[in-house]
Amino acid sequence: MNTVPVFKPLIESEEIAASTESLRMGWLGMGSYVGEFERALAKFCEAEDHHVVAVSTGHAALHLALLLAGVGPGDEVITPAFNNIADLQAILATGAQPVFCDIKDDSLCVDVDRAEELVGPRTRAVIPMDYATMLCDHDTVAAFAERHGLRVIHDAAHSLGSRYRGRMIGSFSEMCMFSFDPVKIITCIDGGVLIVRTEQQLRNLHEMRLIGMGQPPKTMYRNERAWTYDVNQLGFRYHMANLHAAIGLAQLAKLPDIIKTRRATCQRYNERFAGIAGLGVPATDFEGVAPFLYYVRVSSDRRDALREHLRERGVDTGIHWQPGHWFSLFQETRRGDLSVTERVGHEIVTLPLHSFMHEHDEESVVNAVLSFFDR
């Protein structure tokens, strides 16, 4: 039996051709394709008045953003407990500590009212995260941060191509990161981006992503190296490779069509699952949203049975995510009331969602879910 996977990367002739051309060029480090990718992404995100810096992973982008925000040992960063472990590890990498906040039941994004209760003398930043097909209330987050003098790092790993109140994600945040890992809506095989506002932030990022070397990016974007340079700050091996950027460019060219197909699949899922007692679906019509993953919610005492039922019918499922306070590493982490997070963590199930999803795969998913509730 062929299994319908949760994720399925869209790798076609364009990506293979881009990879081949990049390898034939022979410039395997950071080079011309990286510069092209940054410019193309800035245009797509309508963020040409901002600065786009490509890095090796989304985690690297988060780590650098926290350092730019001045987060360090002894500081605290408010973030949802319902979050990817990359955010939590990035906070720890600076010497700071996460503070776990609850989420809203309808959006599964940070509950700013609960965040208000968590601000303390060591709080330096907040990381709001868009989830799956849902967007944070970013205006409310911005107002909250301004009241308390906090920096905002927007985790948009799930929302590339979405719009918030008419504004493209990436075009309005103080700092905004994207991820292009193997399962994201578009992939660079691995990669990330941080979008910032100021020239000083840009200069710092260019050095920090390249182990501190003050080597001009314009030189490397010509597939050349400067053999003399200065080093005046801490740096990391966080730059994006030319090969990965070439694949990203091929993917980015398809993104409008990718979004349309994923949105259509999510809309059909919601239509087919509407009215099923005991099954919760995303509370959105998906308009203006570029869906990364599609989730449902089912009572905790039925979740394992649903996943096993789907597995037996060739449909893979996932769990995104286990809340951070469930992990051994974060047992002592400061937190507020996490009632919604606790409930969602036991109910959430990720169903397969692919770009240009085959009709047969889509029907397999729908029929498997329906048959569980028809039993």
The residues spanned by each domain of the chain are 13-252, 255-374
Question: Could you name the CATH architecture of 255-374?
Answer: Alpha-Beta Complex (3.90)
Model confidence, pTM: 0.97
CB-side exposure of 56: number of CA atoms within 13 Å? 12
Could you give the angle at the alpha carbon of 162 between the alpha carbons of 156 and 167, nearest 5°?
100
Residues of the chain with pLDDT under 50: none
Which pLDDT value is given to residue 320?
97
Could you report the per-residue pLDDT of 179-219, keeping only the tens digit for each? Answer: 999 999 999 999 999 999 999 999 999 999 999 999 999 99
The topology (CATH level 3) of 13-252 is Aspartate Aminotransferase; domain 2 (3.40.640)
In b/e form, how buried is each residue of 207-216, taking b as 16+ CB within 10 angstroms? bbbbebbbbe
Could you give the angle at the alpha carbon of 301 between the alpha carbons of 272 and 349, nearest 5°?
45
Which pLDDT value is given to residue 259?
98
